[in-house]
Amino acid sequence: MSAAPREPGADRDPVLEADTASRNVHQRFVLHEWIRVKLAWLGRLTRHQAWFLLIMLGASWGVVFESFRSHSWRRTVRYEFGVTLNSVIGGGLIATLFTGTLTGVAAVSQTIYWLGFAGLAKMTGSILINVVVREIAPILVGIMLLGRNGMLSVTELGLLTTGGQIRSMQAQGLDPFLLLVVPRTLAFTVGGFTLGILFSFAALLTGYVISRISGVITNPVWTFFYDVVVAMSHMDYLIIPLKFITVGFVVGLGGCLTGLTATSEDNLRTLLPRGFSRGLLIVMAVSVLFSLDL
């Protein structure tokens, strides 16, 4: 008796067949289970899309919470805060004053000239506050913070994360959030306010000096600044500092989080563009949010 030859493709794998059969078993439709699955899918999709935003929100609360706890301010945290503050303000002071001076030449003096030319000199203070101090200054200061110190944080923390040093810090009981993110973010916050005020002052003063030299205005400098201050509304006294503070806060936090969330597949080629684009987006988003009907 000879066995019939096996035809190609006739081989049957009993394991695969059993697996396929088990999948094809008719399952009873359960409404609440179907809804749960769909909601889980929706949640996953939303979380994936809003992942960094959610991290930013959670970490923002964490920074604020930790900053009010006396136990958080250990000497290592104070040291990191001092070093970062020195780097942000001390390192960025000249660049900020220089940018403010250029803005004064390019924007403030031109505004004063054209408003005087159009016979709207009385609106000078109001327009300078609304355009230069409230809109231009936070964006330019935010971009300078991002470029000078934010990218440094992205690089430093990114390399620490991918290199394994962050894990080693955790093994020593050093919480990277407390030791690095909290003090750096708060230093950026103070730095954002300080540099923003200095930038605004430099821009207005330079604009006045240029206009005075060119003979567009003849008022003394005190009168000029008095007009600017008088043009500020009560809300401006709140919004302008808040905008500088928020820009510093989000640039610092965004840079730290971008670095800390780096994966083993990341390197400088992926980290730096991501950090810069996120930072720029954050600065613009804060600027727009504060401009919404306020």
Partner 1 sequence: MDTRTVGPLLELNKAVPSFEESGLPPVPFSMRIMPGECVVVEARDASRATMFADMCAGLVPLDDGSVKFMGLDWATLKDREINALRGRIGRITRRPSWPEFLSTHLGIALQQLHHTNRPLDEVVAEASRLSEWFGLPGLPVLRPSMLSDSDLLRAACVRAFLGRPRLLLLEDPLEASPVDLENPFLGAMTDARDKGAGVIWLVRNNAIWQAYRQGVTSMWRLADDGLVAVRTG
Taking the complex as a whole, how short is the minimal distance between the CB of residue 217 and partner 1, in angstroms?
A: 48
Q: Does 76 participate in binding partner 1 (rule CB under 8 A)?
A: yes
Give the C-alpha separation, 279 to 274, whole Å.
8
Give the C-alpha separation, 109 to 217, whole Å.
10
Taking the complex as a whole, how short is the minimal distance between the CB of residue 248 and partner 1, in angstroms?
A: 20
User: Looking at 7, 173, 235, 269, which residue binds partner 1 (CB under 8 A)?
Assistant: 173
> Apex CA 106: angle with CA 199 and CA 136, to 5°?
45
Taking the complex as a whole, how short is the minimal distance between the CB of residue 185 and partner 1, in angstroms?
A: 16
Which of the stretches 4-12, 73-81, 226-234, 260-268 binds partner 1 when contact is defined by CB under 8 A? 73-81
* Residue at token pair 């971008």: 258
* Residue at token pair 């500088």: 244
Which one, 119 or 173, has the nearer CB to partner 1?
173
Which one, 177 or 225, has the nearer CB to partner 1?
177
Give the C-alpha separation, 112 to 126, whole Å.
11
Residue 201 one-letter amino acid: F
Q: Is the dihedral of CA 191, 195, 196, 201 positive or negative?
A: positive
Q: Does 170 participate in binding partner 1 (rule CB under 8 A)?
A: yes
User: Looking at 58, 164, 220, 273, which residue binds partner 1 (CB under 8 A)?
Assistant: 164
Residue 55, Cα to own-chain centre: how many angstroms? 12
Taking the complex as a whole, how short is the minimal distance between the CB of residue 79 and partner 1, in angstroms?
A: 8
User: Looking at 105, 106, 159, 209, which residue binds partner 1 (CB under 8 A)?
Assistant: 159
* Cβ contact 245:141 at 8 Å: no
Residue 292 one-letter amino acid: L
Taking the complex as a whole, how short is the minimal distance between the CB of residue 59 and partner 1, in angstroms?
A: 14
Q: Does 165 participate in binding partner 1 (rule CB under 8 A)?
A: yes
Dihedral Cα 79, 83, 86, 88, nearest 10 deg: -120
Which of the stretches 102-110, 168-176, 191-199, 265-273 binds partner 1 when contact is defined by CB under 8 A? 168-176
Residues that bind partner 1 (rule: CB under 8 A) add up to a total of 20
Which chain residues interact with partner 1 by CB under 8 A?
A: 74-76, 79, 156, 159-160, 163-165, 167-175, 179
